[in-house]
Amino acid sequence: MATEHENIQQYCMVMTTFSDEVIGKKIIHSLIEKRLAACVQVQSIESYYHWKGEVNQDQEKLVMIKTTTALYSEVEAEILANHDYETPEIIQLPISAGLADYLSWIRSECKD
């Protein structure tokens, strides 16, 4: 059974966004096939942001990637290698607690 301390060190969720379905699916499939993620969830969102001095509004997909902390740099590199945004959102959020069986599943599905 995973302890809370182990959860903080071992597991994370990485968030990114995309607007092009083809590029998004390429990123998602690559992360899963290379075992850089155990699970990737996608949700439709509307984003508002400043970019190059202007306020923008876009229909995007929010991608929530469940992985291990040790794989973060590879996940980031994979997103950057396939993304079409000049500066894509790539944020790592720690998982501070979770169902031990689910966290073990993440560990078993991600490469070592």
10-46, pLDDT tens digit by residue?
999 999 999 999 999 999 999 999 999 999 999 999 9
Exposure of 88 by Cβ count < 10 A (0-12 exposed, 13-18 middle, 19+ buried)?
Answer: middle
User: Could you give the number of structural domains in the chain?
Assistant: 1
Host domain of residue 31: 4-109
Can you give the pLDDT at residue 9?
Answer: 72
Can you give the pLDDT at residue 15?
Answer: 98
- CATH number for position 55: 3.30.70.120
Q: Is the pLDDT of residue 7 over 70?
A: no
Q: For residue 69, what is the DSSP state?
A: G
88 Cα distance to chain centroid: 12
